[in-house]
Amino acid sequence: MPPWLETEDEMLLPSQIHAWWQETEYMKMPHVQVFTGVANLLQELRNLDTDSIVARMRETNLANLRKSSKIYEAMLQPS
């Protein structure tokens, strides 16, 4: 799948958008919070543990940095 949306592709545009949505931080990051409406959002905000969220963000970003660093290091190694 190309890194863009194809309007003339066999795959329907909503299917392409769904496929890309699955790869976004909104779907992959463990610290992203979900709410079902304004009332639920307000309830979630009252119980929000920002320290925990920040810690999970830090852990996830550090793990991703290590992973990408290894890939780039491998690419730069002489053959």
* Mean pLDDT for back-to-back runs of 10 residues, the chain (79 residues): 69 82 85 91 94 92 94 89
CA dist., res. 59 & res. 2, Å (int): 30
Taking the C-alpha atoms of residue 70 and residue 64, their distance in angstroms, rounded to an integer, is: 10
Instruction: Name residues whose C-beta falls within 8 Å of residue 5's C-beta, 6 or more positions apart in sequence.
Output: 13, 16, 17, 20
Contact 32, 26 (CB under 8 A): yes
Q: Please tell me the predicted confidence (pLDDT) of residue 52.
A: 93
DSSP-derived letter for residue 43 is H
- How confident is the model at residue 2, as a pLDDT? 63
Distance CA 70, CA 63 (A): 11
Question: What pLDDT score was predicted for residue 54?
Answer: 92
